[in-house]
Amino acid sequence: MLTDTMIKEIPQLKVHGRTTACRAPLTLFWTAGGFECNVTGSELWVELEVTFSMYEPWLSYTVNGSWVGRQMLQKGRYWLPLFRGMSPQSVKNVRIFKDLQAMSDDGSSYIHVHALRHDGQFFPVADKPVKIEFIGDSITSGEGLFGARKEQDWIPMFFSAVKSYAHQTAEKLDAEYRVFSQSGWGVHNAWDNNTRGALPGYYKEICSLMPGDENERLGGNQPHDFAGWQPDFVVVSLGTNDAASFDQPAWTDERTGERHKMHREPDGTYRQEDISKFQRAVKAFLALIRTCNPKARIVWCYGMLGLDLQLWLCEAVLAYARETGDDRVSYLQLPDTTAESVGSRAHPGELCHQKAAQVLAGYLSKFL
Residues 206 and 179 occupy one common structural domain: yes
Question: Do residues 246 and 105 share a domain?
Answer: no
What is the pLDDT, as a whole number, of residue 340?
A: 98
User: So what's the pLDDT on residue 197?
Assistant: 98
pLDDT of residue 171: 98
Q: What is the pLDDT of residue 210?
A: 97
Residues 202 and 346 in one domain: yes
pLDDT for the residue 172? 98
Q: What is the pLDDT of residue 122?
A: 98
Tell me, what CATH number does 14's domain have? Answer: 2.60.120.260
Could you tell me the pTM of the whole model?
A: 0.98
Residues 201 and 101 in one domain: no
CA distance readout (Å), 66 to 96, 239, 312 = 12, 33, 41
> How far, CA to CA in Å, does 32 sit from each of 15, 16, 92, 134, 142?
11, 7, 20, 11, 10
What is the 8-class DSSP label of residue 143? B
77, 155: one domain? no
Nearest to 40 by CA among 3, 82, 92, 86: 92
User: What value, to the nearest 5°, has the Cα angle with vertex 324 and ends 321 and 329?
Assistant: 30
Asked whether residue 108 falls in the same domain as residue 245, the answer is no
pLDDT of residue 319: 98
pLDDT number for residue 116:
98
Number of domains in the chain: 2
pLDDT at 52: 98
Which of the residues in the chain have pLDDT under 50? Answer: none
Q: Are residues 117 and 136 in the same domain?
A: no
Asked if 78 and 177 sit in the same domain, the reply is no
Q: Which of 123, 146, 163 is the last residue of a domain?
A: 123
Q: Residue 344: what pLDDT?
A: 98
Instruction: Please tell me whether residues 165 and 208 are part of one structural domain.
Output: yes
What's the CATH code of the domain at 323?
Answer: 3.40.50.1110
pLDDT of residue 154: 97
Q: Which of 105, 123, 141 is the last residue of a domain?
A: 123
Alpha carbon of residue 62 to chain centroid: 18
Pairing of strands 251-252, 259-260: antiparallel
Q: Is 283 left (phi over 0), alpha (psi -120 to 50) or beta?
A: alpha
Same domain, 232 and 342: yes
Domain identity same for 320 and 277? yes
Instruction: Indicate the pairing of strand 130-136 with strand 251-252.
Output: unpaired
Range of the domain at 159: 130-365
The residue from 73, 98, 123 where one domain ends is: 123
pLDDT at 3: 98
Q: Looking at residue 15, what is its pLDDT?
A: 98
What are φ and ψ of residue 287, in 5° steps? Answer: -65, -40
Residue 338: predicted pLDDT:
98
Same domain as 102, residue 153: no
* Secondary-structure breakdown of the chain: helix, strand, coil percentages, each rounded to the nearest 5: 25, 30, 45
Q: H-helix or E-strand containing 177? A: strand 175-181
pLDDT of residue 290: 98
Q: For 48-154, where are the alpha helices, taking DSSP H only?
A: none
